[in-house]
Structures are given as C-alpha cells and as structure tokens.
C-alpha cells in the first residue's frame, strides 16, 4: 500500500509543480535576467548529469574509461567536429581504454 501512496503523492506533486509554472505572471517571464537564466539552465543540467554519470559509481567518485571517453568527446568538440564524430570519438576512446584493461 505504501507504493500507491508514493505514486499518488508523486502525481500530485507533479501536477502542483506544473500548475505553479502556469500561474507565473507573463511579465515575470519577459525579464531579460529570467530569459538568460532559462537559456543556461539546460546546459547546466546536462553538464551536471554528465559529470555525475561519468565520475561516480554509487556513492564513490571513480575515474575509469568513461572519463577517457568524455575527454575524447571534449577534444572533438573543441575541434568543432560534427555531432556523430564526437559520439564516435567518445565511444572509441572508452572502448579502447576498456580493451587495454582500464
């Protein structure tokens, strides 16, 4: 029964969060600061997710083959490579380090 209470509470929380977003006045969303922060928020969230997925396992910080893949992707990104080349570089670097026993 506890699972259904958690599901109902989560559904209610999601509904209230969405309703709260709809109740924000339009004038507040038209401010330049809000627009700049809204443009930066997805980048910050993606960077945080990438860092968390790359450098942690459970509750421990870990440097392994995923870090090499991320570094290869960063280099390809700095060289302005196309997206598929960036992904391929990350995959190949990660696979290469894992094949070498890292």
CA distances from 83 to 52, 79, 87 (A): 21, 11, 6
pLDDT (tens digit per residue) in 62-102: 888 999 999 999 999 999 999 999 999 999 999 999 999 86
What does the domain layout of the chain look like in residue ranges? Answer: 1-30
pLDDT (tens digit per residue) in 4-29: 999 999 999 999 999 998 998 988 88
Q: Is the pTM of this model over 0.85?
A: no
Say if CB 72 and CB 89 are below 8 A apart. Answer: yes
Q: Is residue 1's pLDDT more than 80?
A: no
Helices 65-78 and 83-99: crossing angle in degrees, nearest 10, is 150
């Amino acid at each position: 029964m506890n699972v259904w209470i958690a599901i109902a509470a989560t559904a209610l929380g999601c509904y209230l969060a969405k309703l709260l977003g709809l109740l924000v006045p339009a004038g507040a969303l038209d401010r330049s600061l809000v627009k700049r922060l809204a443009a930066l928020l997805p980048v910050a969230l993606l960077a945080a997710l990438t860092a968390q997925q790359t450098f942690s396992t459970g509750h421990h910080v870990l440097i392994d083959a995923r870090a090499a893949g991320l570094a290869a992707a960063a280099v390809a990104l700095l060289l302005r490579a196309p997206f598929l080349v960036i992904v391929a570089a990350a995959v190949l670097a990660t696979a290469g380090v894992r094949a070498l026993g890292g």
